[in-house]
Amino acid sequence: MKKLLLLVAVVAAMSTTSCKKDYTCTCTYSYLGSTASVSYTIKDTKKKATTACTAYQTSGYTCSLK
């Protein structure tokens, strides 16, 4: 019974943790017909990575998560 309870507790703990993955945030900038891009690697959950990638957007930059 103790082993079963321990197994249930471990499975429950694992299911509540978020999976952190590597996401690539690519930002592009266009000015006078020229385009430049830069990529950042963000290791987090998809929701937090999307928020972080959006934070990179400033005047003239367009960023997207891949």
DSSP of 30-65, one letter per residue? EETTEEEEEEEEEEE-HHHHHHHHHHT--TTEEEEE
Helix (H, G, I), strand (E, B) or coil at 16: helix
Phi, psi of 37 (to 5 degrees): -140, 155
pLDDT band of residue 33 (cuts 50, 70, 90) is confident
pTM of the model: 0.65
First to last CA, the chain: 45
Mean pLDDT for the chain?
Answer: 83
Q: Mean pLDDT across the stretch 9-33?
A: 78
